[in-house]
Amino acid sequence: MRTSPLFVTATLATSLLVSAPISAENTSTDIKVSCDARSDYQVSMSGQAFVFENTDGRNTRLVLGGGQLFINGKQASLSAADQKRIEDFEAELRLLVPESRKVVTEAVNIAFDALGAVSAALSGDPEKSTEYDKVRAKAVASANDPARLPIFNDQSMRGIVEPIVTEFVPDIVGSALGFAMKAMFAGEEKAAAMEARMDAMDKDLDARIDARAKALEPLADGMCKRIQRMDALDNALEVRLPNDKPIDFLSVK
């Protein structure tokens, strides 16, 4: 028997989270809004300040807050033009944070809804999806952790997604095998009926995911424009790192 389309849908819904931070090709069935923004820094928060850290050969720590920029613990001396750029960059970043949390939270919920539906359908146990609720709550809480910023890099998102994949995908694979075995021994007519039910559920699930993803497109488009403005400000900065290289908070393809 072929692989269940529901299983494929759930796997894709989960995998989209791994690349979700803000990556804007608007596609119909996922929330990858990819402006393809990337950063060499891991971004976090300390109080109200943004912390950009890079330990991959550069050992750079930038702290941005209150219109001030600190480079490796030392306050940077900014020209008037750079002062304005830093203030504008910080203002855009503060608006981007809640927007990115909304997108990531919805991506988490879509993935869990898909996983729960697949698990229930394959196992034949409608209550199966309730087992996901506690983990869903943890994942949503993690996505909204004040210290975690799901933007620009994959590491923070992987910390949310990988436990989901590790815990639940093996269970779904097992359920898929069990479903296939049941169909194999159910006789041709019953197997065809089972397959038809799965196909119908799959189409319904795809339609619901599509609708929810499309509902986020205006926000995603706005985020992309914001990121492009941030990239322009970043590229125009005159201040440099101690090695005389550009700060390069982020890059946008």
The residues, ordered by sequence, that sit 6+ positions from 240 with a Cβ below 8 Å of its Cβ are 246, 247
Q: Which SS3 state, helix, strand or coil, does residue 140 take?
A: helix
Burial profile 118-148: b = 16 or more Cβ within 10 angstroms, e = fewer: bbbbbbeeeebbebbeeebeebbebbeeeeb
The answer, as to whether pTM is greater than 0.75, is no
**Looking at residue 240, what is its pLDDT?**
96
Closest CA to 172 of 135, 131, 130, 120: 120
**Looking at residue 125, what is its pLDDT?**
64
The residues, ordered by sequence, that sit 6+ positions from 217 with a Cβ below 8 Å of its Cβ are 26, 33
**Looking at residue 105, what is its pLDDT?**
83
**Looking at residue 50, what is its pLDDT?**
94
Query: What are the residue ranges spanned by the domains of the chain?
Result: 5-38+103-243
**Looking at residue 115, what is its pLDDT?**
74
Q: Is the backbone of residue 113 left (phi > 0), alpha (psi -120 to 50) or beta?
A: alpha
Give the HSE-up count for residue 140: Cα atoms under 13 Å, Cβ half-sphere.
14
Closest CA to 250 of 179, 156, 181, 151: 151
Give the whole-angstrom CA distance, residue 217 versus residue 134.
28
Question: In this structure, are residues 35 and 23 in contact, taking their beta carbons and an 8 Å threshold?
Answer: yes
Q: Which SS3 state, helix, strand or coil, does residue 85 take?
A: helix
- pLDDT tens string for the chain (253 positions)? 334 333 434 444 444 443 333 333 333 334 344 567 888 888 888 889 999 998 676 789 999 999 999 999 999 999 999 999 999 999 999 999 888 888 888 877 887 777 777 766 666 666 666 767 777 787 788 777 776 776 765 555 566 666 666 666 666 555 555 555 555 556 666 666 656 666 666 676 777 777 887 888 888 888 889 999 999 999 999 999 999 999 999 988 7
